[in-house]
Copies of this chain bind each other. A is one copy, B any other.
Amino acid sequence: MATQQSQQRRPRFLRHTRQREAILRVLRTTHEHPTADWIYQEVRKEIPHISLGTVYRNLKILTEMGEARELTFGSSYSRYDGDPTPHYHFLCDECGKIEDLDMPVMDSLESQAAEWTDGRITSHRLVFHGVCAECQKQQQ
């Protein structure tokens, strides 16, 4: 039942490659919270022969390095957030769009929650659900 985290061996050092740089650049310059495939399509404009596997591999490494965050709302595919600083999200239940919220991060939530568990809390994620402005207009 308990899902043990997969412990895979990492290389002793990381290399700089065109592919890795391009992927990180795309991640940094979009606020769309893109999917792996969207990033793939985007990077392909610059490196046409790049493979989707390479995109996934690098996204995993970048996430582990703390350069990106993997967002897994919904059971289908992952989205990636190129802003590694802590922040909250708003998810539109109609169109699936994800917005970053500039509201302050409340670390006090963690100390509050600490009183209700024996576990040691290291971080938290807060996601608001609702209907974005665009979808509200369409519903009228």
Q: Give the interface of A toward B (CB within 8 A).
A: 1-5, 32, 34-35, 38, 70, 72-78, 88, 90, 92-97, 99, 101-103, 109-110, 112-113, 115-133, 136
Contacts and interface: CB of A to CB of B under 8 A. Distances in A.
Given A4-B95, A92-B119, A101-B116, 15 more contacts: A1-B32, A1-B35, A2-B95, A72-B72, A88-B113, A90-B117, A99-B117, A102-B116, A103-B116, A121-B128, A123-B129, A123-B130, A124-B127, A125-B127, A125-B129
A115 B96 CA distance: 20
A75 B76 CA distance: 8
A123 B92 CA distance: 11
A132 B103 contact: no
Contact of A74 (B72, B96, B112): B72
A119 B131 contact: yes
Contacts of A32: 1
A102 B130 CA distance: 24
A119 B99 contact: yes
